[in-house]
Amino acid sequence: MSQNLANSLKFAPAMDYQAAGTSDTLAGTTIDTAGYDGVVFIGKFGTITATAVTTFKAQHDGASDMGTVADVTGATISVAADDDGQVAVVDVYRPRRYVRIAIVRATANAVVDGVVAILYKGRKSPVTQDSTLVATGAVATAVGIPA
């Protein structure tokens, strides 16, 4: 079996591009963590207006409809108004079964370029990527040979 890290991770889009906006909460795609110990959300931001108040946080629930969703304690990042073009990373170890990212935008515009979820410490390896979420051939692994 290959020792490549990508063979033990599952990738999923968690939120698509979101144009500049304010005064709203964006709820990402619900991710089922069954068979995995944790999930990392990596979000990339575009232009953030100087007075924007933006929060990047993980939420979880025991049910897929997220009917009793709660913020994950300690999994919240305040995104600075000068964080244009930068990423925010939230790692949730052993969440309730279903998780999502939520981005709260207030005061002024903030652009979200997108969010990716990476599930880790799966019970099975190598991981088969979900073809409805990850493009065919989008994960490539190789073994380099020293020169």
Domain residue ranges in the chain: 5-122
Instruction: Write out pLDDT tens, residues 33-84.
Output: 999 999 999 999 999 999 999 999 999 999 999 999 999 999 999 999 999 9
Instruction: Write out pLDDT tens, residues 78-107.
Output: 999 999 999 999 999 999 999 999 999 999
pLDDT of 139 reads 65
Write a three-state SS string for the chain.
CCCCHHHHCEEEEEECCEEEECCEEEECCCEECCCEEEEEEEEEEEEECCCCEEEEEEEEECCCCCCCCEEEEEEEEEECCCCCCCEEEEEEECCCCEEEEEEEEECCCEEEEEEEEEEEEECCCCCCCCCCCCCCCCCCCCCCCCC
Residues whose CB falls within 8 Å of the CB of residue 42, separated by 6 or more in sequence, listed in order: 87, 88, 89, 115, 116, 118
What CATH class does 5-122 carry? mainly beta
Q: Using the predicted structure, report yes or no on whether residue 140 has a pLDDT greater than 80.
A: no
Q: Which of 10-14, 51-55, 70-74, 140-144 shows the lowest per-residue confidence on average (mean pLDDT)?
A: 140-144
Q: What's the whole-model pTM score?
A: 0.88
pLDDT of 5 reads 82
Q: Using the predicted structure, report yes or no on whether residue 2 has a pLDDT greater than 60.
A: no
